[in-house]
Structure 1
């Protein structure tokens, strides 16, 4: 089950750098909240695929359910309940406010990932 995949790992690193740049330098109403959420599920998917030999749909669904769980925990104010509301890192990573549209951004990111994977994966990988 464990298998390092350099390609997915490099994509995950690139997406992580983009996410950090968005968090540090973008203060707008579209890119930071929605593009960041769209990209984060792709990042998590690539990170999962970088270390585990798991097929497309189980990986995509796992990442999507994890993202939904984090968003639901935001609804229940997890950061405040843990006493981490003053931690910039905790509020950035876990988040501090629930928004329905974030669930849509996560879903769109996973749908995009599935489409790209099905379309661009080499034929050899598709058969396995």
Structure 2
């Protein structure tokens, strides 16, 4: 792992963040999108954010994001936002979340699996193009 800035990942992070904001504000009435798709995409946001500043093994990063996501979700079971003193409606209360859900755990896992497959496909394409002169 080493520090290295990537404009490509910064732009992807900004794009995914804007999609998340769109989901939270404009598409909030579409249940499937708000309830599930946002949680699938948020792990991708975390991935691109870290890759913006750090060169790191993709599999380790994806596994770390999955574990982190699970920990945050399980912390919600214990009402960690309230215990930390964040008021309902505050930014940190919203970021940490306030209700545990097994469905969210599943969405994080699906997001990480999709991310893993995308990264693997990208590496396979790179290997194939490098071997074909």
TM-score by length of 1: 0.90
Q: Which residue of 1 aligns with 2:112?
A: 110
Q: Which residue of 2 aligns with 1:16?
A: 17
Deviation at 1:52, TM superposition (A): 0.6
Structure whose alpha-carbon radius of gyration is higher: 2
Aligned residues: 125
Correspondences of 1:56-75 after superposition (within 5 Å): 56-75=58-77
Q: Which residue of 2 aligns with 1:98?
A: 100
Deviation at 1:24, TM superposition (A): 1.5
Q: Which runs of 5+ in 1 are unaligned?
A: none
Deviation at 1:23, TM superposition (A): 1.2
Of 73-82 and 34-43, more deviation after overlay is shown by 73-82
Deviation at 1:88, TM superposition (A): 3.5
Q: Secondary structure at the match of 1:85?
A: coil
1:30 and 1:23 map into 2 onto residues whose CA distance is 12
Q: Runs of 4+ in structure 1 displaced over 6 angstroms? A: none
Q: Which runs of 5+ in 2 are unaligned?
A: 129-133
Residue by residue over 1:22-70, the C-alpha shift from the partner in whole angstroms, topping out at 9 and shown as x without a partner, is 1112233211121000000000011111111101111101111111111
1:20 and 1:3 map into 2 onto residues whose CA distance is 27
Q: CA RMSD in A?
A: 1.7
2:52 and 2:17 map into 1 onto residues whose CA distance is 14
